[in-house]
Structure 1
Amino acid sequence: MPETRKIAVILKGYPRLSETFIAQELLGLERAGHDLVLVALRRPTDAKRHPVHDEIRAKVFYLPEYLHEEPWRVFRALLKSLPKGGFWRALPPFTRDLRRDWTRNRFRRFGQALVLFAEWPAGARWLHAHFIHTPASVTAYASIMAGVPWTCSAHAKDIWTSSDWELSEKLARARWTVTCTRNGFEHLKSLAVERSRVHLSYHGLDLDRFPSFEGDHSSRDGSDPGDPVCIVSVGRAVAKKGYDILLKALSLLPADLNWRFDHIGAGDLTKDLRGLADQLGLAPRVAWHGALDQKDVLARYRESDIFALACRVAADGDRDGLPNVLVEASSQRLACVSTRVSGIPELLEDDQNGLVVPPEDPRALAAALERLIRDPVSRRRLGAAAERRVRAEFDHHSSVSQLSDLFESEWRRAP
């Protein structure tokens, strides 16, 4: 593909263990022939990385995470940009945004865009933002400065914690926007002037990395203290994942049931959740494994009996879209229990290929868990149906192909 078709992808942070879906999309676009350069607003904080990150060839370019940490870099960018018309074209939109959002973050976004404009990646002729909040703000300002079109992938938190005025204006400025759940799609479409520029595109899963499990999940039924049913969950320890609800549900299970719970993931609430597990008397049955790479996570899915995730809408409006871990677990014939939030019912249908309960309801969640702990036959039925659904409808090649076609249509229209 010619150098003039290079796409600069603006990311909040890179690489991130919790954003495997983005990494596999980037690799898919590269394999489809797209030339990428990655621009991250934050440096990595995870100690580990997934194998997919090592397969992506694109160079990574880091902007200053906080402007005061690299003042001379920001100052040089300002001096370089002042004589250029693009800077002055971007100033009025920034000023209008600032009047409605007088925050440090707003200044930071403009400053990051300024550095991107001044240190422009060679050959980049398109900008694509992952997340419609902060990364899209930086991208929108940089697009005006450089006179380069931009597009956006919107996901979950970024949609539901952004104000309607900002979403509406970004949807109007971007050439097109894709999002990964019907719930988010309908919301964005309602705010868009040109609704045809909003597209639904499920992330899907790289099924080559999650091949069919040729073994069998156990027939444990919770009756043997020496061989407890294994419940696993993968997710960051943050409010929207509902781990406090899950722990409370576990505490409500009958005393005669034998189970253990493995949590995989890091997060700010880990210490609080450990304390809650102690308080509820669950500590001997709960293991906190921290962040694991994809291969280790796959092994855990195959060793476990039930996958549980108690997603909720957090107090600030943050919520999941369709958690990729549910798709991963389903691909391994693992029976899943989750909540009726956002895009989860778009994957799991209650008692068809999983169990789905209301959010914020520990008793309903406990009843679903008890049912699956006691009934390995139901686990097998639901897990098999879940895998069939994933392999038929959630192959990531479809989403990469859709995104690739959207980019190609833009190249064909370009002069």
Structure 2
Amino acid sequence: MPIHLSTPGKTGDVEENCHSRSELAEMGTYLLPSFTAENMDLYLIRSSILEALSKFLRRYQGTILDVGCGKMPYKQLVLQHPDKYVYIGLDIENPRYQADAKPDLYWDGRTMPLEDCSVDCAIATELFEHIPIPENTMREIFRVLKPGGQLFFTVPFLWPLHDLPNDEYRYTPFALERHLRTSGFYNISLKALGGWNASLAQMIGLWARRKPMSDEEREKVSQELFPFYVKLVESDEKPDEFMEGQMITGVQGTASKPLRICYILLHIPVPSETFIITEILALQEVGVDVHTVSLGPSQQCHEDLMAHFKQPVYNLSDKSADSKSEINSLYFAALRLVSKYDILPALAVQAALAAEYVITHSIQHIHSHFASEAALVALLVSKLTGITYSCTAHAYDIFKVDVAGEFNPDRRLKLIVEHAAKFITVSEYNKAHFMALTNGAIADKLEIIHYGMDLSRFNKIERRPSGTVIFLSVGRLVEKKGHEYLLRAFQQVAESCKVHLRIVGEGPLRQSLVALADELGIADKVTFVGAVSSSVVLEEMKRADVFVLHSLTGEDGNREGMPVSIMEACVTGLPVVSTRHAGIPELIVEGESGFLVAEKDSAGFAEAMQSLALSPELREKMGTAGHNIVSENFNILNEAEKLKNIFTSIIVHHNRAASGNASQDTSINLLTVLYANLLKIKNLIKRFLA
């Protein structure tokens, strides 16, 4: 008989939900008892814990602490992937369980022999019901977890008295949530291990296998009840929420140690920066509490994505004169800093307002995108608060000669890099630029985090050839996107092929590009779509056959980083024609997932476009290769996990370092402490008066 586990609304094999058949065989009967009449008491509880824990482990990696590990039955499960996990079993000394297998560490039930912030995840299966004061243990787990670390746990609800006299509680989900929140955890998720049918099956199994009776009687009732037991197990539906009158077998859950990151951005949202929104959503998915501060006004766009932000955008442009007057003390300190670092004085008030937000929301680390005004404000906020900051640099902020009226971009970049805890960029091309700029001095600070694709939104699309081959280009109508050379190449293709070009995006060059299309005699074969939402871009990609982007270096030095539009096209299965520019060759494998030509080479670009226009088979082959490359190497959840680990490492290192920084202005540090305490007093008074 196949082994079945119930899931909400449907039934699935344990092998599909957890591990391969060989891996299951190696785990032994403790983790997964056989689905037989003899195991009616154990099968449901053990298999449901295995399913839940296996799903949890697939999402995380690093050092895993097994609290109350007993005989360490889950050690083998964790170490199935030694490249991902380090296992530590922890328990109090108990000869009853530890004759054959001793834990890696003993503890006294009060203080774990581990440093603060030293483990990535903790698991506590069927533990808390044995702890007289559960919050003491939960607080110790909280202490040793790194910021952003996850706790996985299970507790029984329907189970006989056991391990007497140390069987203390049967928890409801509401009591569990209260204990966890009191212990400092947030982002708490609780789910039932089984619903009504599983509960009845559990009681039948316990009665048949554990009620005192003769062996003959036990064998008889077990065989008679087992078919009904099987039907109950296979038909169980786990409840999606806990309601009045609901019956459950037990509770599984996860809880996070806060990792509060504040993104300081020039604007959010803006049409051309979906990659930042996607990154924030992915960080939320991996357990990071992301706050966003927008220095300038937000634009009406990407409402479908912004609706998933767990924290509202704090827009400094909305702050009234009264609210700005409240930060005078921070403002004067910020003025001293802009003078010290020769930064635009106008950024002082934004830094003071952002610093107030960071203090009041207990932010642990600051991050900015683009090494321009936003990064300079992040630097100032870091100095005002003593909180570390990092920055992701892209393209115009690195290469463009004139940013915000300056004439020496290298000085700005060096200042931001010097004071950042980490400096992140999106390609090897950019990394090489920074290494040259600093003579390799920032090698220990420099990291590469790629733009990533949300594979749940962008799937490979099966395309059938039609009469007209649709070329699609997505990007702002600015010089570095090379639309002039694209139009000239398209003119050559249109002379011999039935084709149409759709250009998505808006920008200052629109009028001149429309005029050029008319001048080239291709106006009837070119559609300027304008700026659209991310969902409309996806629809455009579904209708297209080939993606084209003629990126180049602008007269002002502006270049691409690694165009997100090319990644999105690849994920949907579009072959790509582009240029050997900046980080694009790291994304497109030439001749495999697309064609690359030299910048401003319209003839070469036309030849590549024509090759794809004439061959549906080549389009399909290159599109499939591009989809596989991007799916494997540019998965947004993988990149978010890397970024989370960087943030965590910065915070842990900062917290362990000696208090204060030798270069920090001690008067500003003192001011920050006083200001934070005044804010707390002010908020207490407000709550009291309310």
TM band (smaller chain): 0.7 to 0.9
Deviations 1:324-358 (A, max 9, x none): 11111111111110011011000112211100011
Shift of 1:254: 5.3
Taking structure 1 as reference, are residues 303 and 73 closer, same or farther at Cα in structure 2, changes over 3 Å only?
A: same
Question: What RMSD over aligned residues (CA atoms) do the two structures have, in Å?
Answer: 2.3
Aligned to 1:271: 511
Q: For the residues of structure 1 that align with 2:326 and 2:512, how far apart are their CA atoms?
A: 42
CA contact (8 A) 2:588 2:626 kept: yes
Aligned to 2:447: 199
Work out which of the residue numbers 432, 441, 444 in structure 2 matches 1:186: 432
CA contact (8 A) 2:502 2:526 kept: yes
Shift of 1:51: 2.4
Taking structure 1 as reference, are residues 92 and 410 closer, same or farther at Cα in structure 2, changes over 3 Å only?
A: same
Identity of aligned residues (%): 27
CA contact (8 A) 1:89 1:144 kept: no
Taking structure 1 as reference, are residues 297 and 146 closer, same or farther at Cα in structure 2, changes over 3 Å only?
A: same
The one-letter code sitting in structure 2 at the alignment partner of 1:6 is R
Shift of 1:113: 1.5
**Greater Cα shift, 142-151 or 316-325:** 142-151
Aligned to 1:309: 549
Q: How does 1:110-121 map to 2 (within 5 A)?
A: 110-118=348-356, 120=358, 121=360
Aligned to 1:13: 267
Taking structure 1 as reference, are residues 398 and 288 closer, same or farther at Cα in structure 2, changes over 3 Å only?
A: same
Q: What is the aligned residue count?
A: 391
Q: For the residues of structure 2 that align with 1:406 and 1:179, how far apart are their CA atoms?
A: 13
**Greater Cα shift, 162-171 or 300-309:** 162-171
CA contact (8 A) 2:335 2:345 kept: no
Aligned to 2:535: 295
Taking structure 1 as reference, are residues 246 and 273 closer, same or farther at Cα in structure 2, changes over 3 Å only?
A: same
1:107 aligns with 2:107: no
Shift of 1:391: 1.5
Aligned to 1:216: 463
Aligned to 1:54: 307
Q: For the residues of structure 1 that align with 2:566 and 2:308, how far apart are their CA atoms?
A: 24
| Matched position secondary structure for 2:391 | strand
Taking structure 1 as reference, are residues 63 and 158 closer, same or farther at Cα in structure 2, changes over 3 Å only?
A: same
Shift of 1:367: 1.3
Q: How does 1:112-191 map to 2 (within 5 A)?
A: 112-118=350-356, 120=358, 121-161=360-400, 163-190=409-436, 191=438
The one-letter code sitting in structure 1 at the alignment partner of 2:278 is Q
| Matched position secondary structure for 1:230 | strand
Q: For the residues of structure 2 that align with 1:332 and 1:285, how far apart are their CA atoms?
A: 24
Work out which of the residue numbers 321, 325, 334 in structure 2 matches 1:76: 325
Aligned to 1:41: 295
**Greater Cα shift, 272-281 or 398-407:** 272-281
Aligned to 2:159: none
Taking structure 1 as reference, are residues 275 and 322 closer, same or farther at Cα in structure 2, changes over 3 Å only?
A: same
Q: How does 1:394-409 map to 2 (within 5 A)?
A: 394-409=634-649
Shift of 1:269: 1.8
1:230 aligns with 2:470: yes
Q: TM-score, normalised by structure 2?
A: 0.54
**Greater Cα shift, 258-267 or 171-180:** 258-267
Deviations 1:63-97 (A, max 9, x none): 239xxxx89469626633366xx436524433xx2
Shift of 1:5: 4.2
Q: How does 1:230-269 map to 2 (within 5 A)?
A: 230-253=470-493, 255-269=495-509
Shift of 1:16: 1.9
**Greater Cα shift, 356-365 or 49-58:** 49-58
Q: For the residues of structure 1 that align with 2:608 and 2:432, how far apart are their CA atoms?
A: 30
Listed as ranges, the gaps of 5+ residues in structure 2 are 1-147, 149-183, 187-257, 402-408, 657-690
| Matched position secondary structure for 2:345 | helix
Aligned to 2:595: 355
Listed as ranges, the gaps of 5+ residues in structure 1 are 99-105, 221-226
| Matched position secondary structure for 2:307 | helix
Shift of 1:359: 0.9
Q: TM-score, normalised by structure 1?
A: 0.88
| Matched position secondary structure for 2:364 | strand
Q: For the residues of structure 1 that align with 2:603 and 2:554, how far apart are their CA atoms?
A: 19
Shift of 1:236: 1.1
Greater RCO structure (CA 8 Å; 6+ sep)? 1
Q: Which has the larger radius of gyration?
A: 2
The one-letter code sitting in structure 2 at the alignment partner of 1:81 is L
Deviations 1:158-210 (A, max 9, x none): 11126222212211100001111111111123326331110011112111111
Taking structure 1 as reference, are residues 114 and 210 closer, same or farther at Cα in structure 2, changes over 3 Å only?
A: same
Work out which of the residue numbers 63, 69, 82 in structure 1 matches 2:316: 63
CA contact (8 A) 1:77 1:115 kept: no
Aligned to 2:560: 320
Shift of 1:42: 1.9
